[in-house]
Chain A
Amino acid sequence: MYFKDTIAAISTAVGEGGIGIVRVSGAEAISIVDQIFKAYAKPKQNLKEVAAYTAHYGHIIEPEIEQVVDEVICLVMKAPKTYTQEDIVEIHCHGGSVPLRKILSLVLDMGARLAEPGEFSKRAFLNGRIDLSQAEAIMDVITSKTEAGLQVAMDQLEGGLSKQIEDIRSKLLTLLANLEASIDFPEDEIEGFSFAEVEERLSEVLESVEDLLATSKKGRIIKEGIQTAIVGRPNVGKSSLLNALLRENRAIVTEIPGTTRDVIEEVINIQGIPLKIMDTAGIREAEDEVEKIGVARSQKFLQKADLVLLVLDANLGVTEEDREVMDLAADKDTIVVLNKIDLESNLDVETLKKELATERVIEVSATEEIGINDLEELISELVFAGQVEANDQTLVTSLRHQEALEAAYEYLLTVQETLAQDLPADFLTIDLKAALEELGKITGDTVGEDIIDQIFADFCLGK
């Protein structure tokens, strides 16, 4: 067999279809799933002993707390007659990204590695399953998916995560360079860190990693978008705001109130944060059946949203209809957008802030594109400060990043142990380097030259 490790991934696209599949392939596939699967009929049954090509109905259990995650069917297939020519287990569950991702992360906890884009097909090919003509197609998949994946990763990185990881990396590099410099230049008078200092710096870094892990677990490093609803009474400029944020004319804009009849959905990227943004029909007592349905849907979307952009017309001031919408949005994370400030304003921002008990008021002009950047800034701040969170849990972390971060964390804990054992400096460097390498998987850096550069940047060395 070509590969040694076992890989896993969600093999139906998230959100599509009713049933989700987590696919596990590799020598350990069956034993890994066995640890978290309990067959309904025969709870004691060991998956390793079942016949190939059989389906098993039962539960996925989170072993530590013995809690049922989902009801599933496990398909067990044995090498070599499988797609990858390795043992494969497919866990079919109810779909929805929550159980899917939960199951995937359990499988990873049990020792599988997250598959690279296209890796199942790659294995299938390398293990001799797919024939030559298909190879080109697979390469396409690998490049396109990797590129898309990279793009997503980059987008996320721009949004602040990158800064935090860079920060951690640079602290670790400083630490490592300090140890390395005194190893490679024992006769230079280097003011090296004492072990106590190393310990202190290390726990500082550990704390940051912990924080980051905590937030990434909550799902703040977002992949699928924050549900954002633009709401307001008719004609305040909701569609215009959407267009301004999209920087294109997506929604129809007219001076007639009630132009937008149904919800328009778009995905935009604000400073690295994907937003699934919805322009809704203006909320008011509807004048006709179609509008009525639209209004009802608006209200529904408003309730589902993670973030609400409540639009007011600064020129007209706050009306009774506005107040009704405000009431509807009362318990949501809301940004109040005062639109049309290019016209004469009949609203006092400070009074409004007091009345609504919020600081989150932004003045914009959708048509003149004034204040749009401030709005974006505020949105990204709210998300990264954790004030806005996904409530429907479709927002999940980038598992790959989390995996790397967790691995780095483990290595750093080992460094701590090594410190506690009072072993010589060289032993600290082994796991420090390994941790840096894991972080590099997120930022795309390698350790080799970086550490050499750091040594010479930090110290005057050599004779």
Chain B
Amino acid sequence: MKEYDVIVVGAGHAGAEAALAAARLGGDTLALTVDLDNIALMACNPAIGGPAKSQIVREIDALGGEMAKNIDRSFIQLRMLNTGKGPAVRSLRAQADKKSYSLNMKRVLEEEENLNIRQGIVTELLVGDGVVKGVKLKTGIEFYGKKIILTTGTFLKGSIIIGDHSFNSGPHHQFPANALSEHLEELGFELRRFKTGTSPRVDKRTIDFSQLIKQPGSEGDISFSFTELSSTQLKEQVPCWLVRTNEKTHQIIRDNIDLSPLYAGDIEGEGPRYCPSIEDKVMKYPEKERHQIFVEPEGEYIFEMYLSGFSTCLPESIQVKMLHSLPGFEEAKIIRPGYAIEYDCVNPLQLKPTLETKVIKGLYTAGQINGTSGYEEAGAQGLIAGINAMRQLQGEEAVILKRSEAYIGVLIDDLVTKGTNEPYRMLTSRAEYRLVLRQDNADLRLTPLGYQLGLITEKRYQKFKAKKEAIEQEKQRLKNYKIYPEDEVQSYLRKVDSTEISRDDTLGRLLRRPELNYEKLAGLDKERADLAPEVIKQVEIQLKYEGYIKKQLKQIEKKKELEEQQIPEEIDYEQIEGLSAEALEKLKKVEPISVGQASRIAGVTPADISLLVVYLQKLKREVTKENQHE
């Protein structure tokens, strides 16, 4: 009887990362999927990145994951967003060729040494004694594994709704996973029903682009992965387009709103606020006269166009009318209608920060099944679940990223500490330390960990170390580089539209001036060496915003004590006298691993935390005392 180390159920964005991580860490891994032709399928927007998400993609890359590389292989347009709002929120977004993305990822999985991929629908988990042992497929066949990772996305009891039509289905009309959902409930999982939606797809040849506004890509050498700069490989970026709804569109929606299952009450699932359907936007914001729709190619070689911002589940006939009301779309043909999808997901409060479930040992869940939404969020969880499944197998300490280390840390901490009542999407405003969690420094933050885990090659690590050293050296050099209020200096400063210095200064300090940058200082810098652009960028950001960065580091330092204070797994909260009833209930449910995590639980007050700290100390002393007696 063959027993795998890790079985990953699902090969979407979470599943792909989980399977790759497990295999790369030496695990004999099996990935199962409903449809082998839809690996890492982008069910919605053909795009990766954007605010908070590009940060995640780069974190995945620094930890040895695949998403960044795969989008670098498959993009057809790149845009740098938020360029003027500060380095922490600058973010890259790529339009992907949807099919290439999927195929490229499939190829990577196929080529991975310890990884087997196979088509099949899991209907049951094999569980013995509270420990997971394997999976059973719809066809009756069983596979055994020491660790199982569920990444079933929107497939659990998936139900597609278009107008008054609704049918049991996974996304993009793939088979749904019904039996597994019921089985999970029997095992003790609290399932919830969430909802999301997607827009109609249109034949490119039926759109009059002269009436649309062209959205070209950004110029320059940019990529997601820190390993290679790949934008040059694209001969020409494919443009996106912008169009706006108008009064006519809104009228059609208002006239037919009672046909929307959202409004007729046929949909019970909780939908995301940040991803409203067009009917929601029109009904909830009647004062807004128009809404933007981005028209995005689904691929380089096909004619299918995605209408971002036009998600709807109105009946098809109405979708056609709405579409024809848009300028340039008078003759447009829908080739796939928009739809809403409802699905089951688990309550993430039933998870540990390692993404192992509290319900069944050895079972992990990652991705949309945990109540999130988005490819990047899914990929990040998949990676962490894959790593932790293998670490546990190998008897190593689990990887739990801190909120001050990575967006991935924020994501998982939010999920397992606060839970979520709507599909959770990452936003930069969720990260309290976002100034230090930039997309540009993700490698500096996480490559050492990736290397230590064994997911970053020696070669890449050496390259990383060299980069890091170069940054430090250059920073020191600029900080020590003195300049004096001499004529030559003053006239140069005036020339670059800055102001004169009144006394001795350093280049490092001059760099803080908003109007100056590294390049502009060249004329004052006689010892400048030829440095790589990514080194210069780091030097510039780190010196320019040093004051603010230090402030944030200080905030992190202040909370460190709480974060580092562990709560033993076997703690009995009933023993802590004086805890409020609410705190008691929440602490028992969440099972926080540190005092820091406990302090973030809604309903746990500072007084409760004080009691907890005192109690923990008491426990510790009792242990030392006992040891002394022995």
Write the residues of chain A forming the contact surface with B, with a CB cutoff of 8 angstroms: 4, 116, 118, 122, 125-126, 128, 132, 135-136, 138-140, 142-143, 146-147, 150, 180, 182-189, 421-427, 429-430, 433-434, 444, 447-449, 451-452, 455-456, 460-463
| Contact across chains for B273 and A423 when beta carbons are under 8 A apart | no
The docked-state distance in angstroms from the alpha carbon of A439 to that of B275 is 31
The docked-state distance in angstroms from the alpha carbon of A143 to that of B582 is 15
Once A187-B81, A463-B292 are accepted as A-B contacts, the answer to whether A427 and B548 lie under 8 Å apart by CB is yes
B291 at the interface (CB under 8 A from A): yes
B611 at the interface (CB under 8 A from A): yes
Whole-angstrom distance from the CB of A143 to the nearest CB of chain B? 4
| Contact across chains for A426 and B85 when beta carbons are under 8 A apart | yes
Cβ-closest 6 pairs across A and B: A426-B86, A463-B309, A424-B86, A143-B578, A462-B274, A146-B607
How many positions in chain B have a CB within 8 Å of any CB in the partner chain? Answer: 59
23 A–B contacts, CB within 8 A, in A order: A4-B561, A118-B610, A122-B613, A135-B617, A140-B578, A142-B578, A142-B607, A146-B607, A183-B429, A184-B51, A184-B427, A186-B82, A422-B514, A425-B85, A426-B88, A444-B605, A448-B430, A460-B284, A460-B285, A460-B288, A461-B274, A463-B292, A463-B309
Question: Nearest residue in B to A455 (C-beta to C-beta)?
Answer: B429
**Among B418, B428, B555, which residue has its beta carbon within 8 angstroms of that of A184?**
B428
Fill in one digit per residue for B371-394: 1 if any A CB lies within 8 Å of its CB, else 0. 000000000000000000000000
The docked-state distance in angstroms from the alpha carbon of A135 to that of B615 is 8
Question: Nearest residue in A to B551 (C-beta to C-beta)?
Answer: A430
| Contact across chains for A126 and B551 when beta carbons are under 8 A apart | no
Whole-angstrom distance from the CB of A208 to the nearest CB of chain B? 24
Residues of B within 8 A of A122 (CB): 610, 613-614
The docked-state distance in angstroms from the alpha carbon of A463 to that of B427 is 14
| Contact across chains for B308 and A463 when beta carbons are under 8 A apart | yes
Further pairs besides A122-B614, A461-B276, A463-B292: 5, Cβ < 8 Å: A116-B610, A139-B578, A183-B51, A462-B275, A462-B276
The docked-state distance in angstroms from the alpha carbon of A184 to that of B54 is 12
| Contact across chains for B578 and A132 when beta carbons are under 8 A apart | no
Whole-angstrom distance from the CB of A384 to the nearest CB of chain B? 28
| Contact across chains for B577 and A427 when beta carbons are under 8 A apart | no
Residues of A within 8 A of B88 (CB): 426
Whole-angstrom distance from the CB of B305 to the nearest CB of chain A? 14
| Contact across chains for B294 and A187 when beta carbons are under 8 A apart | yes
B618 at the interface (CB under 8 A from A): yes
Residues of B within 8 A of A143 (CB): 577-578, 607, 611
**Among A138, A421, A425, which residue has its beta carbon within 8 angstroms of that of B86?**
A425
| Contact across chains for B545 and A456 when beta carbons are under 8 A apart | no
> B84-110: which have CB < 8 Å to A?
84-89
Fill in one digit per residue for B611-628: 1 if any A CB lies within 8 Å of its CB, else 0. 101110110011001000
> B510-538: which have CB < 8 Å to A?
514
Question: Nearest residue in B to A3 (C-beta to C-beta)?
Answer: B561
Residues of A within 8 A of B545 (CB): 427
Residues of B within 8 A of A463 (CB): 45, 275, 292-294, 308-309, 311
Residues of A within 8 A of B435 (CB): 426-427, 430
B246 at the interface (CB under 8 A from A): no
| Contact across chains for B427 and A452 when beta carbons are under 8 A apart | yes
B586 at the interface (CB under 8 A from A): no
The docked-state distance in angstroms from the alpha carbon of A136 to that of B85 is 51
Question: Nearest residue in B to A141 (C-beta to C-beta)?
Answer: B578
Residues of A within 8 A of B300 (CB): none
| Contact across chains for B577 and A136 when beta carbons are under 8 A apart | yes
Residues of A within 8 A of B324 (CB): none
The docked-state distance in angstroms from the alpha carbon of A451 to that of B281 is 20
Once A142-B610, A430-B435 are accepted as A-B contacts, the answer to whether A452 and B84 lie under 8 Å apart by CB is no
| Contact across chains for A462 and B292 when beta carbons are under 8 A apart | no
Once A140-B577, A421-B514 are accepted as A-B contacts, the answer to whether A456 and B273 lie under 8 Å apart by CB is yes
**Among A136, A138, A423, A433, which residue has its beta carbon within 8 angstroms of that of B514?**
A423
